[in-house]
Amino acid sequence: MILESNLVANLKQFVQYTGFANATFGHIVMILIGLVFIYLAIKKDWEPLLLIPIGFGMIIGNIPLFPGMQVGIYEDGSVLNILYQGVRRGFYPPLIFLGIGAMTDFSALISNPKLLLVGAAAQFGIFAAYAGALALGFTPAEAGAIGIIGGADGPTAIFLSGKLAPDLIGAISVSAYSYMALVPVIQPPIMRLLTTKKERLIRMAAPRPVSQQEKIVFPIVGFLITAFIVPSGIPLLGMLFFGNLLKESGVTRRLAETARGPLNDIVVILIGVTVGCSTQADKFLQGSSILIFALGAASFVVATFAGVLFCKILNLFLKEGKKLNPLIGNSGVSAVPDSARVSYVQGLKYDPTNFLLMHAMGPNVAGVIGSAVAAGILLGFLS
Amino acid sequence: MKKILSVFTLACLLLASSFAKAQSPVDIRINEVQVSNVSGLQDENGDRCGWVELFNTAYGMVDVAGFYLTDDKANPTKYMIPKGNTATQVPLRKYFILYADGQPNKGVFHMNFTLDGVKNLYLYSTDGTTLLDEIELPQMGADQSYGRYVDGEGKHEPINWSKQSARKNSVDKKIAEDGGFSILNHPTPGSTNVTTRVETKSEKMKDMDPWGGILAVTAMGTVFLCLIILYLCFRQIGKRAIKKQAEEKAAKNAPAAPAASAAKIPADGAINEEIIAAIAIACHMYQNGVDSGIHDVESNVLTFNQDLLRNSPWGARSLTLKQDPGK
């Protein structure tokens, strides 16, 4: 009899620890969202390298837990919590920037440096979203973290939100990556709206060949200038330009290959899965998340507007033959290389012989530098 | 290129010499002083005496060994902080305590004078002549100290205090009127003097810029500034590079020109089969492929079109993160 009652008590306790006993509606919703991410990655091939880790991370993070078992991502000392420190303390994003630097070719930008200005103009989206978030009642620190979604740069968004608004990191990073995946859907209508057929047919002069010497000087001078003006951006800018120097120096091929290959892959896995885990239902399913998604969409729209309009304004001052095709303006949004591909595809639609890809890569990589600088400024003002 | 590099280096050196101040003795401040210590800080022997707290405002370590403290301006080298002890290396934004008991043999950092009746305290650099900081001590009660409201800020501070006094906050005005110092009822030796809650940058920004316009303008201005400077730099570097390439090409082609043309076109003027095939294919593509995009348009020039659609790494689906969802 006693054995029977003990057995029942044990079973009851066991049931109490299972996910079924602790499940809430929110957990189920988040698991379904995770499954949708995985579906989109596998079936639609949308950012699979990011959506698979984030999607599965969402499932891991939303398995209902009995509190105090030290396995949840927000429980101090748990394995997931230790891995999450890379996001929370911001050491994964600079490592990703190292990989981005090691895989980015700045030749297009060096050959036509005025494209840097297009990359700067597209950062308007960040500050439009910042103002919008303030108007919606977010604190300036939270607004800064939300605004950086407009930079269209996942690692930068994670880096800044980890510093300024850790509670919103899940919503901000998922929003940033979602809109980056949707760049080919969001940008083309705006590009068509703002340009005439004549402008879309503008042919830009072929980029000149860039010497090895220029490629080596670029990361060094680029870092010195940007870091001296915005020292708070050093973690991102330093690693970006360092990675690029590894690539361009010509004498550190092994290091460059490691930075853009295995190291980058490891960090992408860790950042994806831990960001996914951090979207626990009680943290993620809030009204603020919906507002963040709305502000994120608005920031992408404004950034695209600003980039395209800036090209048109710049054309007013450029001589015939040196004018920019405004279809590359959207590339200032630094979703590399997606927004450049959008310019390329749109350009081909109107003139199958007008290849804008290399021209669009200029503002695209300038956007990476611009968003890292903007993140540094926000960090300096708000942290 | 050499000229640009030398100008750039010179500019950097000038900038550095104008602005660099990290890890410099001038960053050390007298931060807090207690004259009458009845129930406060104890020294390593468990005794209580007056003390002086120094603060490193720099963003790097500063070694205070060899610095001088004195209550008499005519005798600036009255007490020297002992050398040969690693404890004198004050990390960034950290504190260093000296005991003012007039018994230098009692411990390493015990001064050779007390603060009783002292009206002014001076901190000199290792040369014994450069005045780093001075403080005028008011009358203090037992267990009170006199120090800066905000660590390292105030008179002789690295920031311009008069500008700070423009702040609306009445407390800030009061601080400004006092030169950044006040009598502290709760001395804080070895830790920050700020015992009240300090407004965060985010909160200050909310008061100063509720709609985000100022930050937006400032930040966009800075982003543009960074990228405009980069643009100007690389425009110049690019011009030089183009000139250099042209010179190199000219130098290379000049003597080799007859040999090169001889290599391309046989001396007897005969054109081999490969050249004929290439011209035939180019003509075929030009006549049949302009509309379908297999040939690029260049006036009066026949070339083979590089197929970027299929061969570009950016266009290759297998090499990019995702496909176009619009498809």
Per residue in A209-254, pLDDT (tens digit) is: 888 999 999 999 999 999 999 998 999 999 999 999 999 999 999 9
Q: What is the mean pLDDT of residues B285-311?
A: 56
B43 and B130: one domain?
A: yes
Is B119 within the bounds of a domain?
Answer: yes
| pLDDT interval class at B296 (50, 70, 90) | low
- pLDDT level of residue A258 (50, 70, 90 thresholds): very high
Instruction: Write down which residue in B235, B250, B265 finishes a domain.
Output: B250
CA angle B154, B157, B161 (to 5 degrees): 55
Query: Given an 8 Å threshold on Cβ–Cβ distance, is A113 in contact with B234?
Result: yes
Return the top range by mean pLDDT from A301-315, B82-96, B203-217.
A301-315
Q: Say how many domains are in chain B.
A: 2
In a domain, B83, yes or no: yes
Q: Do the domain assignments include residue B7? A: no
pLDDT at residue B258 in the model: 52
Residue with the larger pLDDT of the pair A242 and B247:
A242
Residue B15's pLDDT band (boundaries 50, 70, 90)?
low
A217 closest CB neighbour out of B222, B237, B325: B237
* Residue B301 domain-assigned (yes or no): no
- Where residue B167 falls among pLDDT bands split at 50, 70, 90? very low
Instruction: List the single residue in A119, A127, A210 with the smallest CB-CB distance to B227.
Output: A119
Same domain flag for B174 and B242? no
Tell me, yes or no, whether B1 lies in a domain. Answer: no
In terms of domains, do B60 and B117 share one?
Answer: yes
Which residue of chain A is at minimal alpha-carbon distance from B294?
A353
**Closest CA in chain A for residue B207:** A140
Question: Quick check: B322 and A47 CB within 8 A?
Answer: yes
Q: Is the pLDDT of residue B290 over 70?
A: no
- Does the pLDDT of residue B69 top 70, yes or no? yes
Considering only CB atoms, which chain A residues are within 8 Å of B309?
A: 348
User: Does B295 have pLDDT greater than 80?
Assistant: no
Of A327-341, A353-367, B138-152, B292-306, give the lowest mean pLDDT range.
B292-306
Residue of B202, B233, B321 lying closest to A49 (CB–CB): B321
Q: What is the pLDDT of residue B262?
A: 45
Strand B79-80 and strand B28-34: the pairing is unpaired
- CA A269/CA A87 separation, integer angstroms: 12
Are residues B68 and B190 located together in one domain of the fold? yes
For chain B, say whether A106 makes contact (Cβ under 8 Å).
Answer: no
Residues B156 and B231 in one domain: no
Contact B91, B56 (CB under 8 A): yes
Phi/psi region, residue B299 (left: phi>0; alpha: psi -120 to 50; beta: rest), is beta
Whether residue B2 is contained in a domain is answered as no
> What SS3 string covers chain A?
CHHHHHHHHHHHHHHHHCHHHHCCHHHHHHHHHHHHHHHHHHHCCCCHHHHHHHHHHHHHHCCCCCCCCCCCCCCCCCHHHHHHHHHHCCCHHHHHHHHHHHHCCCHHHHHCCCHHHHHHHCCHHHHHHHHHHHHCCCCHHHHHHHHHHHHCCHHHHHHHHHHHCHHHHHHHHHHHHHHHHCHHHHHHHHHHHHCCHHHHCCCCCCCCCCCHHHHHHHHHHHHHHHHHHCHHHHHHHHHHHHHHHHHHCCCCHHHHHHHHCHHHHHHHHHHHHHHHHCCCHHHHCCHHHHHHHHHHHHHHHHHHHHHHHHHHHHHCCCCCCCCCCHHHHHHHCCCCCHHHHHHHHHHHHHCCCCCCHHHHHHHHHHHHHHHHHHHHHHHHHHC
Tell me, yes or no, if A366 comes closer than 8 A to chain B by beta carbon.
yes
Residue appearing with tokens 């950097």:
B12
Shared domain check, B86 and B225:
no
Choose from A341, A368, A369 for mutation: most chain B CBs within 10 A: A341
Q: Which of A184, A211, A353 sits opposite B325 (nearest CB)?
A: A184
Average pLDDT value for residue range A178-196? 90
8 Å CB contact of B241 and A214: yes
Stretch B98-113: mean pLDDT: 90
Q: How far apart are CA A162 and CA A171, in angstroms?
A: 12
Same structural domain, B184 and B80: yes
B150 shares its domain with B232:
no
Quick one: average pLDDT of B147-166?
57
User: What is the C-alpha separation between A55 and A40, in angstroms, rounded?
Assistant: 10
Residue A9 at interface with chain B, using a CB cutoff of 8 Å: no
Please list every residue in chain A whose beta carbon sits closer than 8 Å to the beta carbon of residue B313: none
pLDDT of residue A180: 84
User: Does the residue B181 lie in any domain?
Assistant: yes
Same domain, B126 and B224: no
Which residues of A are less than 8 Å from B229 in CB distance?
225, 229
Average pLDDT (B106-112) is 90
* Half-sphere exposure for A263 (CA within 13 Å, toward CB): 20
Phi and psi at residue A133, in whole multiples of 5°?
Answer: -65, -40
Structure confidence at residue A99 (pLDDT): 94
Above 70 in pLDDT, residue B282? yes
Rounded to an integer, the average pLDDT of A127-154 is 91
Which of B12, B291, B308, B314 to probe by mutation at the A interface, max A CB count within 10 Å? B314
Q: ipTM of the assembly?
A: 0.86
**Chain A, window 312-341: residues with a beta carbon less than 8 angstroms from a chain B beta carbon:** 337-338, 340-341
Percentage, residues of chain A above pLDDT 70: 100
pTM > 0.95: yes or no: no
B160 lies in some domain = yes
**Which of B130, B163, B198 is the endpoint of a domain?**
B198
Looking at the fold, whether B175 and B237 belong to one and the same domain comes out as no
Please tell me which of the candidates A228, A361, A374 has its beta carbon nearest to residue B223.
Answer: A374
- Residue where a domain terminates, one of B176, B198, B220: B198
What's at A106, amino acid-wise? F
The answer on B178 and B31 residing in a single domain is: yes
Q: What is the mean pLDDT of residues B133-141?
A: 86
Q: Are residues B181 and B37 in the same domain?
A: yes
Q: Which of A37-41, A90-94, B250-254 has the lowest mean pLDDT?
A: B250-254
Res B91: pLDDT: 87
Q: Which domain holds residue B205?
A: 199-250
Among the residue ranges A240-244, A309-313, B295-299, the one predicted with the least confidence is B295-299
- Does residue B19 register a pLDDT over 80? no
pLDDT, tens digit, for every residue of B71-102? Answer: 998 999 999 999 988 889 888 888 999 999 99
CB contact (8 A) between residue A184 and residue B201:
no
Reading phi first (left if > 0) and then psi (alpha if -120 to 50, else beta), residue A227 is in alpha
Lowest-confidence region among A23-37, A247-261, B32-46, B187-201: B187-201
